[in-house]
Amino acid sequence: MQLYAYDAGQCDPKKCTAKKLARFGLITSVNVLRKIPYNTIMLVPIADKALSPADRESTNSITVFDCSWKQISDFEDVLMRMKRKKRALPYLIAVNPVNYGKSFILSSVEAFAAALFIFGEKEQSQHILGKFKWGTEFLRLNEAMLLAYSKAKNSSEVIEMQKMFMDVGTKKPKKT
């Protein structure tokens, strides 16, 4: 599976997981929107549909939009106008040092790894995470969710599973 990252130029180069993957030759970094392949799946948090295994049939590449989470709204209009298939990742928990323990706020490598896992590309997912000390922890922590999402038939099933996982994560123990 080909991997691309649109570099919005907002990341700290020392902490940017996309830049590290590019240095290892594991992804292609682009800084012009029209260089993003037309048939790619773009992972963006503002997409209307969740990524599912059904999306694998229509593509051979995944693209992340690599920008600061604090500034994603600045790109909302541009992203929504782009004629690419946009998908959001379902509920997962970050383990990267910047956003450890936060749900949905994944680094680029975590986003790539999750999408690859959901698409059945588990070896490639593990390989790219292996470049980071904390990478295997991402798969360990999210394993049950990723396995469930990877068995979904479509985006609607992924959303239903996501709701279940989110409900479990927010329930407080009953006092006796």
pLDDT digits (tens, 9 = 90+) for 59-100: 999 999 876 656 566 666 666 666 678 899 999 999 999 899
- Identify the pLDDT of residue 65: 82
| pTM given for the model | 0.89
Quick one: pLDDT at residue 41? 94
Domain range list for the chain = 2-170
Phi/psi-derived region of residue 126, left when phi > 0, alpha when psi is between -120 and 50, beta in every other case: alpha
What gap in Å lies between CA 162 and CA 51, rounded to an integer? 11
- Cα atoms found within 13 Å of the Cα of residue 14, Cβ hemisphere only: 1
Per-residue pLDDT, 69: 56
- Give residue 101's pLDDT: 94
pLDDT for the residue 133: 96
pLDDT at 19: 92
Residues of the chain under the 50 pLDDT cut = 172-176
**Separation of alpha carbons 25 and 66, rounded Å:** 17
With residue 30 as reference, give the H or E element that holds it: strand 28-30
